[in-house]
Amino acid sequence: MIVFIALIGYTAHLFQTIPTGFVPEEDKGVAMAGYTLKPGSSIVQTEKISDEIEKRLATIDAIENVTTVQGYNIITGSLDPASGVSFITFKHWDERDDKSENVDAIIRQIFKKTADISDARVFAFNMPGIPGLGVSGGFDFRVQDLMASDIEQLQHYVNELLIAANKDPRIGSAYTTFNSSNPMYQIDFNREKINALGVDIADVFKTMQTYLGSVYINDFTKYGKVYRVFAQAKTAFRSDKSDISKLYVRNNDNKMVPLSAVIAVKEIKGPQNITHYTLYRSIQINGSAAPGYSSGDAMAAMEELQKKIMPKEYGFEWSGMSLQEKISGNSTVTTFAFVMIVVFMVLAAQYESWILPLMIMIPVPLVMLGALLGLQYANLPMNVFAQIGLVLLIAMSSKNAILIVEFAKELRESGKSIVDSAVEAAVSRFRPILMTIFSFIFGIIPLAIATGAGAETQKTIGIALLGGMTIATFVALFFVPVIYVLLEAMRETVVDVEQEVKMRESL
């Protein structure tokens, strides 16, 4: 019993210290590489950089195809001429080495191959574990401006957070595409002068929109297809701020008034776009855990650094996969407790006793020790699939305990002593228990050594079950009889077994 209590304590310790996660980031045969140039870069410069990135990606043996889209920021989902994204397809899993050419290794190679590109910042990432839940794999951290302060001040603190995050050993990489230094033009309207000259301000806006932007006119049909008509100035007449002074607007006297007479243009700097999260202005930070650490470790590091570096007027929230992991992380204990209660109630109804189910259920948590040790040895986190394995272990270990307890109960009611009943039950059930355990272990070995598509998910379930069922062998054969002797001796201080048997036979 001393050994049993010590092992239960060690199991509780492992539950608190083992890394956590939501779902494993699988090698899906694809990855993405986004890149951002200096603020204000044109699409022509972005195309040159994308060509250079494609050439460098072609030198990685495991990469088969690269498809590039310029002018699109994959993280924010916005159009940005200074951004681009490359969708990377790997060779088939059978043609790649599991360790040196898996998705994590390829992403590290992409970072290494593009590190010396000074005109752009390149960041590569895996696909999200659940398609549609977020844009990229890794964590999705949102820094929130709770007091609506200056946007440049917010970025200043975010940059400090990124510097600290990239130095933290638990975080492999952390980055953001947000930049508040994009060159822009601010146009101030002199409304008093507009009214004095008899100009309708709506005409001013419409003129600028038509020439500098575009305006929809109508549709027309040709060759059996419908085409849309837009009005817009040619590129040569809308590429410089001086082009605004060449535009005119008609006033109430049917005279043409130059826009330069009623507006003032000045150069400023600002963000390409401003995102909001739960109503607050926010900056999105993406990243991934360092090798040897789980997503839960990286998320804990980000929370610690944010609270340490940023003042109280800035908060944070998790999004995408990270939010789901945060929500599910608090439900692990509740889930296991609910499963244990359900199994206990079913057994109590079956045996019409509150004590016999305890003999079966008390040793069950010990099988989780084997699962946790297996996950720790394989450097795998406690994620959703590992939790599924633990629930299955509860059922399997309960089944083995039932084989012993039920037979010991029958022997005890036949007149044998408590100790003799426990020993004989363990000896007689030795072969059936080993047959059950070994047949199950041999069946899950392919999961534990899986390779290729979906390997991480299969390994997580397989290793958890393999370790748990290995420990279940010793639990069933050594600890279940001990628990039976202890609880049965306590039960018989208030219950007469012979009287109980006679009452059942009379019914």
> Is the domain of 250 the same as that of 322?
no
Query: What CATH number corresponds to the domain at position 370?
Result: 1.20.1640.10
CA distance 308 to 351: 56
Neighbours of 275 (CB within 10 A): 16
Distance CA 51, CA 32 (A): 15
Tell me which residue has tokens 């998910």.
457
Our count of domains for the chain comes to 3
Is 254 a residue whose pLDDT tops 70? yes
Structure tokens at 37: 């140039």
36 lies in some domain: yes
pTM of the model: 0.73
Question: What does the DSSP 8-state code read for residue 128?
Answer: P
pLDDT range class, residue 504, cuts 50, 70, 90: low
Q: In this structure, is residue 503 part of a structural domain?
A: no
Q: Which one, of 82, 89, 87, lies nearest residue 47 by Cα?
A: 82
Range of the domain at 296: 30-178+273-328
Co-location of 16 and 51 in the same domain: no
Per the DSSP assignment, residues forming a β-bridge with 197 are: none
pLDDT of residue 229: 94
Token look-up 């140039």 returns 37
Does residue 88 share a domain with residue 156? yes
Q: How far apart are the first and last CA of the chain?
A: 37
Tokens coding 396: 């399997």
For 387-442, write each residue's pLDDT tens digit.
888 888 888 888 888 888 888 888 887 878 888 888 888 888 888 888 888 888 88
The answer, yes or no, to whether residue 501 has pLDDT greater than 80, is no
Q: What's the one-letter identity of residue 265?
A: V
d(CA 31, CA 46): 20
Are 347 and 357 members of one domain?
Answer: yes
Per-residue pLDDT band for 249 (boundaries 50, 70, 90) equals very high
Q: What is the CATH number of the domain that holds 192?
A: 3.30.2090.10
Query: How would you class 84 by CB atoms within 10 Å of its CB: exposed for 0-12, middle for 13-18, buried for 19 or more?
Result: buried
CATH of the domain at 132: 3.30.70.1440
Domain assignment of residue 504, yes or no: no
**Whole-number pLDDT of residue 409:** 82
User: Which of 250, 268, 286 delimits the end of a domain?
Assistant: 268
Q: Residue 401 corresponds to which tokens in the numbers above? A: 């305990």
Is residue 34 located within the same domain as residue 165? Answer: yes
Are 397 and 255 contained in the same domain? Answer: no
* pLDDT for residue 163: 93
CA dist., res. 133 & res. 40, Å (int) = 31
> Positive or negative, the Cα torsion across 168, 172, 176, 177?
positive
| Average pLDDT of span 221-235 | 92
Res. 505 pLDDT band, cuts 50 70 90: low
Asked if 494 and 354 sit in the same domain, the reply is: yes
Strand order in the sheet with 78-90: 63-73, 78-90, 30-37, 120-126
Q: How confident is the model at residue 165 (pLDDT cuts 50, 70, 90)?
A: very high
Q: What is the SS3 assignment for 271-306?
A: CCCCEEECCEEEEEEEEEECCCCCHHHHHHHHHHHH
Beta bridge partners of 284: 142
44 part of a folded domain: yes
Q: Which pLDDT score, from 0 to 100, does residue 66 have?
A: 92
- Is residue 226 within 8 A of residue 219, CB to CB? The reply is yes
User: What average pLDDT does range 282-292 have in this prediction?
Assistant: 87
Does the residue 12 lie in any domain?
Answer: yes
Q: What is the mean pLDDT of residues 472-477?
A: 80
Other beta carbons within 10 angstroms of residue 491's beta carbon come to 18
Is-contact 142 81, C-beta < 8 A?
Answer: no
Confidence (pLDDT) at 330: 60
Residues 140 and 37 in one domain: yes
* DSSP helix/strand/coil, 23: coil
CB environment 163-195: b (16+ within 10 A), e (fewer):
ebbeebebbbbbbbbbbbebeeeeeeeeeeebe
Shared domain for 284 and 344, answered yes or no, is no
The reply to whether 208 and 299 lie within a common domain is no
pLDDT surpassing 90 at residue 161: yes
pLDDT tens, residue by residue, 323-361 = 888 887 666 677 778 888 888 888 888 877 788 888 888
Whether 306 shows a pLDDT value over 90: the answer reads: yes
471 in any annotated domain: yes
| 292 and 282 fall within a common domain | yes
> Do 374 and 463 belong to one domain?
yes
317: confidence class by pLDDT, cuts 50, 70, 90: very high
174 contacts: CB under 8 Å, gap ≥ 6: 141, 162, 165, 166, 285, 286, 287, 302
What mean pLDDT is predicted for residues 73-88?
88
- Give the closest residue to 364 by CA, choosing from 384, 336, 332: 336
pLDDT at residue 225 is higher than 90: yes
- Say which DSSP state 138 is in: S
Higher pLDDT, 452 or 338: 338
Quick one: 54 exposed, middle or buried, by C-beta within 10 A (0-12, 13-18, 19+)? middle
Helix (H) or strand (E) holding 30: strand 30-37
pLDDT value of position 507 = 61
Alpha-helical runs (H) found in 82-240: 103-114, 151-167, 191-196, 201-212
pLDDT (0 to 100) of residue 221: 93
